[in-house]
Structure 1
Amino acid sequence: MASILIIDRELGFMWALAERLQVRGIAAIPSSSVQEAERLLDALQIRISLLIINCHCPGVCAFAAQLRKRFHPLRVIGIVSRGFECRACERLLVATLHDPEDRRPERIPQCAELVSILVEPETIQ
């Protein structure tokens, strides 16, 4: 089973996405901060194949760069807001998701589909 890490402060989004991904055989580890993510990764001792980050979370861009070295080749998806492009991690991102304020009903299924596509080689093994 592939594992992904989500760092965002929107608990509802992380929970809904984790639920959708579980059905697809992907374990999602939600975290609201870099510090919490570090503790979870240390405690769980797992390899992540994808990282979803909200650049508004303090320190997350630098943490993403560190994780890419640790879990090479780690793919990173950025959660972006309208009018906000994070220059610190834009070269790390393979894709972007819309801000959690996006309430369209199709948002979670679309995010789950994107994640599934990006981790597919690992879930097939």
Structure 2
Amino acid sequence: MATKTVLIVDRELGFVFWLGQALDRAGYEALPAKSIADASDLLGQLKLEIDLLIVSQSLGGAREFAATLRRSQGHLKVLALIGEQEEPDSAFPEADAFERRLSNLDDASRLEWLETVQNVLDPADCALGDGQSESETGEKPLTRTAKDGGGSDPS
């Protein structure tokens, strides 16, 4: 299996480096960037194909950046980061899934993030909490739940 390349773009550098290190240890090539401009420069210099873009939905230009990358790299998957108080932005059609940025960066969170990345890269293995896949519901998954410290309780 070829190494998958993940570009992580978020202004929370502690989170970016924590996630990048976890992905590197799991066999992914993780590239960190703190802004869309930095990410664009990095991709311009390295000329790499990206398999997964993890980007904060609140960064200026995030949707446009994701759309541009997807046009040039059709296989690209996009995971939009949302803050603890944010909701997924339905105006972000490029996002294959949404995920909460966590403030608790422990081993359990690391394992959950690795599972999320695997599920976004291979959606055939991804199921929503009720056993339905995204294609069956038409909705993009939000993988964190209230018990994880993200998301709101749907009841």
Q: Please tell me the TM-score bracket, short chain as reference.
A: 0.7 to 0.9
Task: Report the equivalent of 2:38.
Answer: 36
Question: Aligned pair in 2 of structure 1 residues 86, 4: CA closer, same or farther (>3 Å)?
Answer: same
RMSD: 1.9
Task: Give the 3-state SS of the residue equivalent to 2:37 in structure 1.
Answer: helix
Q: Is the 8 A contact 1:53 1:76 kept in 2?
A: yes
Q: Show the counterpart of 2:87.
A: 84
Could you say if the C-alpha distance between residues 13 and 83 of structure 1 is closer, same or farther in structure 2, counting changes exceeding 3 Å? closer
Shift of 1:104: 5.8
Structure-2 change in CA distance of 1:83 and 1:44 (3 Å): closer
Structure 2 gaps of 5+ residues are: 123-155
One-letter amino acid of the counterpart of residue 103, structure 1? N
- Aligned: 1:93 with 2:73: no
Aligned length: 119
Alpha-carbon distance in 2 for matches of 1:21, 1:99:
15
Question: Separation in 1 of the partners of 2:40 and 2:25?
Answer: 26
After superposition, where does 1:5-84 map in structure 2 within 5 Å? 5-81=7-83, 82-84=85-87
Distance in 2 (alpha carbons) for counterparts of 1:113 and 1:64 = 22
1:21 Cα deviation from its structure 2 partner: 1.0
- The ranges of structure 1 where at least 4 consecutive aligned residues each deviate by more than 6 angstroms after the TM superposition are none
1:24–1:116: 8 Å Cα contact kept in structure 2?
no
Deviations 1:45-94 (A, max 9, x none): 110000011011111111111111111021110111334332331x2222
Query: Sequence identity, in percent?
Result: 29
**Which whole-Å CA distance do the structure 1 matches of 2:34 and 2:51 have between them?**
19
Flag the structure with larger Rg: 2
Distance in 2, matches of 1:30 and 1:104, equals 17
Counterpart of 2:112 in structure 1 is 110
CA distance in structure 2 between the partners assigned to 1:49 and 1:29 by the alignment:
11
| More RCO (CA 8 Å, sep 6+) | 1
> Structure 1 stretch 64-73 or stretch 76-85: which is displaced more?
76-85
Tell me the TM-score normalised to structure 2 length. 0.69
Letter in 1 for 2:67: A
TM-score normalised by the chain length of structure 1: 0.84
Q: Secondary structure at the match of 2:96?
A: strand
More strand by share: 1
| Matched AA of 2:75 | P
